[in-house]
Amino acid sequence: MDIKKALKFGFEQLGYNNTNSAQLDAEILFLHALGPASYDKTWLYLHLKDELGYKTLEKFKQSISHRAKGEPVAYITQSKQFYGLDFFVDKRVLIPRPETELLVEQTLKLLTTNSRQLTTVIDIGTGSGAIIISVTKMLKKLTAAKKINKNYFQFIATDISKDALEVAKLNAKQYEIADKIKFLQGDLLKPIIKNFKLEIRNCNLVILANLPYLSEEEFNNEPSIRLEPKQALISEDQGLNHYARLFKQISIVKAKNITLILEHNPHQMPNLHRLISRYLPTASFKTEKDLAGLERITIINQKNN
C-alpha cells in the first residue's frame, strides 16, 4: 500500500466514526507512524506514491483504531504543541489547550513589564508543566539576551497528583530547565505556604492557575474529554470550588504584592466576581478576551501592607 491509499484508509475510518478533523488526524497519526525522523506534511504530499513497509502500516492502522474509539491524538502520539514547544503528554495529565496560551502571554507581559523586582512565579495545578515551562523558557531567552535580569525570578509548580508532577519534570528536563523550577506535591497553595512562607513574604508573587472549572454535567456532555483525567477537569459548585479554595488560601498569604492570572469558562464571570469580592475584597481585577472574543482570563491584583 502506498502513502496516498493509507491516508485515504485512515480518513475514511475516522470519517465513518464521525471523528472531527479526520483528515488532519490521519495525517498527524501517519507522520507519527513514520517515526522520530523529521517528516512533515510537505514531505508527506511529495511522497504519496511511496510504498509503505509492513511495520509502518501496522502502526498507522493501530493508531487509527485507537483514534476511532475516541482516544485523543495527543495521547496516541504522546506529544502536544503548546506555545511553540513540544510537550510529552499521556493519560496522567490534561492535554494543553491553545486558549491557555493567552495565560502565558499575559504572564510574560506582566513579568517583562515589572522585571526589576524579585518575583516568585507559581503555577498551581501544573499538570504537564506546559504553562510554567513556557514562561520559564521564554524568560531564559530574555535573560540570555540581557533584556531582563535572571536574578529577579524564581519558579515553583504544584500539583496534587504525583503522576502529573512526574510528567512535568520530564518536560522540564527535556528543555534543560529542571533546575530552574521547584516541583511540589500538594493541594493548590498548601505546599507553598508550608515550605516557602518566609521566601514569599518579601517579594512579588505571581500565581498562575488553570484549575479544573467544569461541572460534572459539562464533563458528561462532552465526550471528547472523557479519557482525560477527571480530577484535572471537574470542580464542584458549578466548576468554581477550586478557585474558591485558592482565593481563601491567597487571603492569608502575606506577600507584599500578589497577582493571580487564571483561566476560566467565560460564563462563570458573574460567580467568579462574587468569589473575588468575598475572599479578596480589597483586590482589583480585570478580564482579557481570547481569540474568539470570550472572557477567558482574569487578572487579580492584591496588595498587602
This prediction's pTM: 0.91
Cβ 133 vs Cβ 93: under 8 Å: no
Span 156-182, mean pLDDT? 96
**Position with higher pLDDT, 274 vs 198:** 274
pLDDT band at 128 (very low <50, low <70, confident <90, very high): very high
The grid cell for 194 is 508550608
Dist. CA 8–CA 12, nearest whole Å = 6
User: What is the phi/psi pair of residue 196, to 5°?
Assistant: -130, 30
SS3 121: strand
Structure confidence by residue, pLDDT tens digits, 132-155:
999 999 998 877 766 666 667 889
Question: Would you say residue 120 has pLDDT above 60?
Answer: yes
pLDDT at 229: 93
Residue type, 165: L
pLDDT at 63: 95
Structure confidence by residue, pLDDT tens digits, 70-85:
999 999 999 999 999 9
Dist. CA 78–CA 238, nearest whole Å = 31
pLDDT band at 114 (very low <50, low <70, confident <90, very high): low
Question: Would you say residue 91 has pLDDT above 90?
Answer: yes
Dist. CA 11–CA 242, nearest whole Å = 40
pLDDT at 115: 57
Structural domains for the chain:
3-77 (1.10.8.10), 91-303 (3.40.50.150)
* Mean pLDDT of the residues in the chain: 90
Dist. CA 44–CA 34, nearest whole Å = 10
Count other Cβ atoms within 10 Å, centred on residue 175: 17
Return the residue matching grid coordinates 471528547: 224
Span 239-250, mean pLDDT? 95
**Position with higher pLDDT, 128 vs 16:** 128
Rg from Cα positions in the chain = 21
User: What is the phi/psi pair of residue 302, to 5°?
Assistant: -120, 120
CA atoms 148, 117, 262, 283: torsion sign: negative
Cα–Cα distances (Å) from 48 to 3, 40, 45, 177, 225, in that order, read 5, 13, 5, 40, 33
pLDDT at 148: 66
